[in-house]
Amino acid sequence: MSPLPEVNLDSAVRMWRDYIESLALVAGGEPPYVVECFGDSAELADELLGEVMHGVKRGTSSLANEYAYYNEEEPKAGNHWVICDGRGEPQIIVKVLSVERSSFFEVSEEFAAAEGEGDLSLAYWRREHEAFWKRTQAAIGRDWSPEITTQPGEELLLERFSVCWPPVLADKSA
C-alpha cells in the first residue's frame, strides 16, 4: 500500500472558494471545513472516494480517540469536508448531516450499508473496520479492540453526509 500524500491545500482552497461563491454567502458566514483523504493509503483513498462519487457511500466512521490524539475537533453536523484522492488532489465537498456516537457493536446493518463498502453487509463492515482500526491505532502506539469502544472517549463517530460540490455530483438534498 502506498502512503497517503500531502493534500494539495491550494487546490482545496480554490475548490472551497468556488463552492462558497456558488452559495452567495455573506463574508464570514461560511461553515467550517477540513481537507483530508479517506483511509490510510492512497489506494484506499481512491477506492472510498470512488464509492462516494458513484453515489454508494454516504456514511463514514472514525474513532473519537483519534481526534483527541491529533488535537483536532470532532466532526459536527453542518461541517464540510473537502475530500482528496490518493494523489492528494481535491475532488468533492461533502456536508456532514449527522454524527452519532456508538460502540463497534451498536453499528447497524443500515449504517454499514451507508458506508458503501464491499458487499454492504455488517459482517463486511466489521471485518474491514476492525482490521483498519487495529492498523491505524498501532501506528500511534495503541492496541485496539472493538471492546474498547464501549468506554467513554473511545467510541466510534458515525457520520452521515451528502455530496454538495461539484454540482454535477451533488446530491439533490445538498
pLDDT at res. 140: 94
Say what the pLDDT of residue 24 is: 80
At 71 the pLDDT is 96
Among candidate residues 40, 34, 51, the one with its CA nearest the CA of residue 95? 34
Digit-coded pLDDT (tens) for 31-61: 889 999 999 999 999 999 999 999 999 999 9
d(CA 134, CA 130): 6
Residues ≥6 apart with Cβ < 8 Å to 56: 116
Does pLDDT of 141 surpass 70? yes
**Is the pLDDT reported for residue 174 higher than 70?**
no
| Residue 27 confidence class, pLDDT cut points 50, 70, 90 | low
Name the pairing type of β-strands 90-102 and 33-37: unpaired
CATH fold for the domain made of 9-165: Sulfate adenylyltransferase (3.10.400)
In the chain, what are the domain boundaries? Answer: 9-165
DSSP assignment string, 26-80: PTT-PPPEEEEESSSSHHHHHHHHHHHHTT---EEEEEHHHHHHTT-PPP-TT-E
Confidence of residue 30 (pLDDT cuts 50, 70, 90): confident
Instruction: Please check whether residue 83 is in contact with residue 38, taking contact to mean a CB–CB distance below 8 angstroms.
Output: yes
